[in-house]
Chain A
Amino acid sequence: MNIWKKAILALLCCMLTVAPAIAAESIVIKGSTTVLPIAQGALEAYMKAHKGVQISLSGGGSGEGIKAIVDGTADIGNSSREIKKDEISLAQKKGVKPVAHIVAFDALVPVVHPSNPVQGLTVEQLSLIYQGKITNWKEVGGKDMKIVAISRDSSSGTFESWDHFVMKKTKVSPRAQMLASNGAVYTAVSKNRYSIGYLGMGYVKKGVKGLAVAGVQATPETALSRQYPMSRELYMYTNGEPKGETAKFLAFVKGPAGQKIVAKEGFVPLKADAPGGKGKK
């Protein structure tokens, strides 16, 4: 290696170590694959408008988002559920004060393959299917074929919501398939006519059919009015009140431009009359 190569290499190393300090601001976001498309859309728009701001984003479950806040490895932790009591006490032990910011509303939607004639189920039926007590579609008004229940992994806030709304005190059968993200559930259900899964509203697209629950179809209106039985908030958590660039980013997400992205991604904006929101009163 000649002296020039060495010099260039040394320079590169310096730049790599110094780079994060040079960049004006950086924000690290982790957690929830349900909130992921909102965060992704928002950070693209935000970084375009604010040159020099570096935002990094990774998915994982809501548990991982909250854990990142508690461990201090992220500035924003995305979550599709509220923080749990033991997570709060763990945070307090570490001197972390999680603050919740609601960024959107969501409905938890059971989904099936588009060829499935079943249009809707009751919460009771959903629970029995996931417990493994109803195993054939004909028991709930469909064709005579086996049901393949697809669930999210236990790190998922969507799984927690499902547990809360549907399973209540019962357990998801060990025969249910456990998949790691909304995207994986979407892919699996869209390719499998036996299957049933559940997704955040923004993931319910053409390849799958959203079922009505107790006769109510999930729409922005029914989610917001809570007429749809499985509605929930989507959160971004910070340690204490956010400051600096993180605060500006959160304000952006909650502001009109951010809420437009929320609607575009198929979720329910905070105010139904926000620009781009489908809900009109």
Chain B
Amino acid sequence: MNRRQKETAIRAVFFSFALVSILILGLIVVSLFREGLPLFRHVSVKDFLFGMEWYPTYDPPSFGIWPLIVGSVIVTVLATLIAIPVGVLTAVYIAEVAPGAVKDVFKSVIELLAGLPSVVLGFFGMVVVAPWLQDTFDLPTGLNIVNASSILALMAVPTIASISEDALYAVPREYKEASYALGATTHETILRVVIPSALSGISTAVILGMSRAIGETMVVLMVAGGAAAIPESLFDSVRPMPASIAAEMGEAPFRSLHYQALFATGMVLFFITLAFNLVADYISNKFKEVGSGTL
């Protein structure tokens, strides 16, 4: 085999692996739609998306997922609001401020946090955070939006921190040098030069963190409280979409309306995650650094 043939063979191998993953993704999407779409022969899209009542097992059943959508969105947004400052500042600290040894320790702690199984975090939320929240704020229940959001934020922080750190690391050294040359201090350089230059990467990190939070199942199943109603305060229980799917998929008779409704809920989640990814893609393209100012 000469060099060129080898090259072609290797290219074919890589191509086929890439093809397999795309194919699998395609099959998943197809089956998601095949199982979910038949629901809309019995329930209108409007009633499904904006219906206020989720009673899938009653007779007659009602399949309104609006409270579930609201639950998911609120929990995710709040989680992101908590996770952005923590994640980004951690990244800044690791990338720009920390001395060598501290940097390594922080990085491994963050990686460890990313590796914690969500059921462990969920359990922590259930037996530690919930009673604490309840006692501290004298609430009727500790299984609520704030609890779920904090735990989800804890899960999004590693994603946000590590991707932001890469983005910060990729900021050309000349920028910083130019800033220092103009007499700027370290924190001025970080705030005015480094972070703005890395903004596209940081935004991508935030949005990927959000898609992780909105799709997360175990935590919201354990600590969000599971009430399928529109919340009136941040301390109310909610039932995000993944929690419903996880809790009910096992029982729903194969290809019954309930089963199809759960797949249709999965479709909604799929579209939300897809939208997040498109936005992330758009942002990273739009604010891409072009050229650099070297002499």
| Chain A residues within CB distance 8 Å of chain B | 60-61, 63-64, 67, 71, 86-87, 90, 145-146, 148, 153-155, 171, 173-180, 184, 187-188, 191-192, 194-195
Contact = CB atoms under 8 A, between A and B. Distances in A.
Contacts, number: 82
B253 A194 contact: no
Contact of A178 (B53, B227, B251): B227
B251 A174 contact: no
Most A Cβ at <10 Å: residue of B140, B227, B251? B251
B142 A191 contact: yes
B58 A177 contact: no
Chain B interface residue count: which class? 20 to 34
A53 B250 CA distance: 27
Contacts of A146: 140
| 9 closest A-B pairs by CB | A63-B251, A155-B251, A178-B226, A174-B229, A64-B250, A154-B57, A177-B225, A194-B140, A146-B140
B134 A191 contact: yes
A195 B250 CA distance: 27
Interface stretch (B86-94, B124-132, B263-271): B124-132
Contact of A177 (B67, B141, B250, B254): B141
Interface in B245-283: 247-248, 250-254
A253 B54 CA distance: 39
Interface in B34-76: 53-58, 67
A179 B228 CA distance: 12
Contacts of B54: 174
Contact of A191 (B130, B225, B248, B252): B130
Given A146-B140, A154-B56, A60 B134 contact: no
B222 interface: yes
Contact of B141 (A145, A155, A174, A195): A195
B253 A90 contact: yes
B135 to A, nearest CB: 9
B221 interface: yes
A64 B251 CA distance: 5
A187 B227 contact: no
18 contacts: A63-B250, A67-B253, A71-B254, A154-B57, A154-B248, A154-B251, A155-B248, A173-B229, A174-B53, A175-B227, A177-B225, A178-B227, A178-B247, A188-B130, A191-B131, A192-B140, A194-B140, A194-B141
B229 A192 contact: no
Interface string B234-253: 00010100000001101111
A133 B81 CA distance: 36
B247 A180 contact: yes
B94 to A, nearest CB: 36
B250 A184 contact: no
B143 interface: yes
A175 B221 CA distance: 16
Nearest to B127: A187
Contact of A187 (B126, B229, B247, B254): B126
